[in-house]
Amino acid sequence: MSADKRGMHGIWGNRWTFILAATGSAVGLGNIWKFPYMAGENGGGAFVLMYLLCILSVGIPVMMAEVLLGRKGRMSPINTMREMTNKENAPHAFRGIGWMGAVAGFFILSFYSVIAGWTLAYVGKMASGEFSSATAAVTGDVFGQLLGDPWMLTGLHTIFILMTGAVIARGVKHGLENSVRILMPLLFVMLVLLLGYSMTTPGFSQGWSFLFNFQTAALTSDALVSALGHSFFTLSLGMGAIMAYGAYMPANASLGKTILAVGVLDTLVALTAGLVIFPIVFSYGLEPDSGPGLLFQTLPIAFGNMPGGAMIGTLFFLLVLIAAWSSAISIAEPAVAWAVERGWGRLRSTIIVCGFAWLLGLGTVMSFSDWSGKQIFVTETVSHAVNAELVAEEEAATEAEVVSTKFHWYADVNELKAAAAEGFVVKTEGKTFFNVLDFLTTNLMMPLGGLLIAIFVGWFMTRESVAAEARVKSPVLFNLWRFMVRYISPVAIFFIFIEGLA
Ligand code: PHE
Ligand code: NA
């Protein structure tokens, strides 16, 4: 039965098409939106260092393993893993790679589409000149208003899901190649131009050292878990997207250089985005840890104040939108390919997958707007309000002493804050609906998928069958890679998990 499914979704024209498609999947909101704000929330350099180490020691080796599995199976990740576990006599638990990946795909697509909707809105805002000579206060207001409008967010989310579905329904092969071939390099050129702009801002050196001053002392175990998770998210790893694309890879292409190219490109885009955003953050006195709004509140200041900024800004957000689009397609592909293999037809499968993701996305819409206060796992800290006179005497800032800390499984943080007694401030830390989905997928499901992939390829497949599929020419590089997949990657993922739980 499985024989006629193998290769039924088509094969990329050549190795380059695979590189383009995989780069299209990898380069997306993860690089331009998420990486900067995560670095900002997790102390900058310490996070960046961990992220780079995770990419090298876990991301790239696991990516090779995942593509290898895909190409060997030539089916959707669910059916590929079913066949591979049978063939290699491995425990059925490894089939979880396929199933968990499909579920993670729904979760990720649901929030990815909502954020991509923001970029859609910003294309329009840029084009209309809304940001001309904008200050930080203006861009903050504009973003706040967008988030406060759930109908608008839903509309944009709907448009983006429809755009994504339109490509998937036609089959990934068509529709994707051209957009990636021309638009990805253009996006990179735009980022480098913006880098030129940020270098002229007074905050450049501060932005640089924020990202590249590797103070390992600042490293928390939360940041470590986030760095590992993000290296999976940004490389589209551990949930089947890159396995599905590997299934369409020509049989004779070598995996080594191909994967390395994708990993390096993805990392360069992220670092460049960070080097554009943080100098602007510091030049305009913004906070680096402002979270998901970071990109949308910083770049419009730059575009609003540079000559020709409206046009450049429009083009920039258009490119980000396209990068998000080519990623979203790959997020949905594993589930759609599986449904197609079940005989549901490409169109029907697309409608079902995108429909569910759309519905779930409404939760993310609400969590940025009307439900932003509704959170779980809330830590509430009450402290004395900092007294302005004491600040003048340079005492209070450090001495705003904490009166109490409380934990709530669930709370409305707006109510907690409103209930603060006079002279006290309430700070909270909890997870919204979006935060929960993001955490579940990025910090748990994707690294767990990656762990299983590394163990499967490293320990359940023979050296010979792995070598035959990988086609890495240099024996030294092959051995190095296999060593990483067998020992370094699984051990690193395992310890970061343990560290994160403790
Ligand atoms: N790698 C994509 C990005 O950085 C997101 C993604 C995650 C794509 C999972 C596919 C699978 O934006
Ligand atoms: Na990425």
Q: What is the pLDDT of residue 457?
A: 97
Last residue of a domain, one of 409, 429, 449: 429
- What is the 3-class SS of 164-225, one letter each residue? HHHHHHCCCHHHHHHHHHHHHHHHHHHHHHHHHHHHCCCCHHHHHHHHHCCCHHHCCHHHHH
Q: Does position 396 have pLDDT exceeding 50, yes or no?
A: no
235 CA: nearest ligand 1 atom? 1
Which ligand is in closest contact with the Cα of 29? 1
Of the two residues 42 and 10, the one the predictor is more confident about is 42
**Distance from residue 24's CA to the centre of ligand 1 (Å):** 9
Tens digit of pLDDT for each residue in 114-172? 999 999 999 999 999 999 999 999 999 999 999 999 999 999 999 999 999 999 998 87
Tell me: do 360 and 455 sit in the same domain. Answer: yes
> In this predicted structure, which of 225-229, 345-349, 470-474 has the lowest mean pLDDT?
470-474
Mean pLDDT over each residue of the chain, to the nearest integer: 91
Q: Whose CA is nearest to atom 6 of ligand 1?
A: 236
**Distance from residue 10's CA to the centre of ligand 1 (Å):** 22
Tens digit of pLDDT for each residue in 400-434? 678 889 999 999 999 999 988 888 889 999 999 99
Pocket test for ligand 1, best of 172, 236, 265 (most atoms within 8 A of CB): 236
Q: What is the dihedral of CA 443, 111, 185, 206, to 10 degrees?
A: -60
Q: Write down the ipTM of this complex.
A: 0.99
Tens digit of pLDDT for each residue in 11-25? 787 788 888 889 999
Tell me: do 417 and 459 sit in the same domain. Answer: no
**Distance from residue 196's CA to the centre of ligand 1 (Å):** 27
The number of distinct structural domains making up the chain is 2
Q: What is the pLDDT of residue 1?
A: 43
Q: What is the pLDDT of residue 400?
A: 64
Range of the domain at 246: 2-372+434-501
Q: What is the pLDDT of residue 179?
A: 67
104 CA: nearest ligand 1 atom? 9
Measured in whole angstroms, the distance separating CA 102 from the mean position of its chain's CA atoms is: 16
**Distance from residue 26's CA to the centre of ligand 2 (Å):** 4
Work out the average pLDDT over 441-456: 96
Which ligand is in closest contact with the Cα of 442? 1
Round to whole Å and give the CA distance between 69 and 242. 10
Pocket test for ligand 1, best of 259, 330, 453 (most atoms within 8 A of CB): 330
**Distance from residue 335's CA to the centre of ligand 1 (Å):** 15
Work out the average pLDDT over 440-458: 96
Tell me: do 265 and 150 sit in the same domain. Answer: yes
Q: Whose CA is nearest to atom 7 of ligand 1?
A: 236
CATH number of the domain bearing residue 222? 1.20.1740
Which ligand is in closest contact with the Cα of 331? 1
Tell me: do 354 and 281 sit in the same domain. Answer: yes
Burial class (CB in 10 A: 0-12, 13-18, 19+), 466: buried
**Distance from residue 382's CA to the centre of ligand 2 (Å):** 38
Tell me: do 368 and 385 sit in the same domain. Answer: no
**Distance from residue 463's CA to the centre of ligand 1 (Å):** 30
Q: What is the pLDDT of residue 336?
A: 94
Tell me: do 294 and 413 sit in the same domain. Answer: no
Tell me: do 88 and 137 sit in the same domain. Answer: yes
Pocket test for ligand 1, best of 27, 51, 234, 267 (most atoms within 8 A of CB): 234
Is the distance from CB of 46 to CB of 223 less than 8 angstroms? Answer: yes
**Distance from residue 356's CA to the centre of ligand 2 (Å):** 24
Last residue of a domain, one of 384, 400, 429: 429
Measured in whole angstroms, the distance separating CA 358 from the mean position of its chain's CA atoms is: 18
Tell me: do 368 and 378 sit in the same domain. Answer: no
Pocket test for ligand 1, best of 262, 295, 327 (most atoms within 8 A of CB): 327
Tell me: do 295 and 417 sit in the same domain. Answer: no
**Distance from residue 445's CA to the centre of ligand 1 (Å):** 13
266 CA: nearest ligand 1 atom? 4
pLDDT band at 393 (very low <50, low <70, confident <90, very high): low
Tens digit of pLDDT for each residue in 208-226? 999 999 877 778 888 899 9
Round to whole Å and give the CA distance between 296 and 275. 15
Tell me: do 423 and 438 sit in the same domain. Answer: no
Q: Which protein residues have a CB closer than 5 Å to ligand 2 (ion)?
A: 26, 30-31, 234, 266
Of the two residues 308 and 145, the one the predictor is more confident about is 145
Tens digit of pLDDT for each residue in 253-290? 888 888 999 999 999 999 999 999 999 999 988 889 99
324 CA: nearest ligand 1 atom? 12
Tell me: do 413 and 271 sit in the same domain. Answer: no
Work out the average pLDDT over 476-500: 94
Ligand 1 shell residues, CB under 6 Å? 25-26, 28-31, 108, 233-234, 236, 239, 241, 327, 330-331
Q: Which strand ranges, in their side-by-side order, compose the sheet holding 402-412?
A: 402-412, 374-384, 424-431
Is the distance from CB of 173 to CB of 333 less than 8 angstroms? Answer: no
Last residue of a domain, one of 405, 429, 453: 429
Tell me: do 259 and 387 sit in the same domain. Answer: no
Q: Does position 198 have pLDDT exceeding 70, yes or no?
A: yes
**Distance from residue 60's CA to the centre of ligand 1 (Å):** 14
Which ligand is in closest contact with the Cα of 236? 1
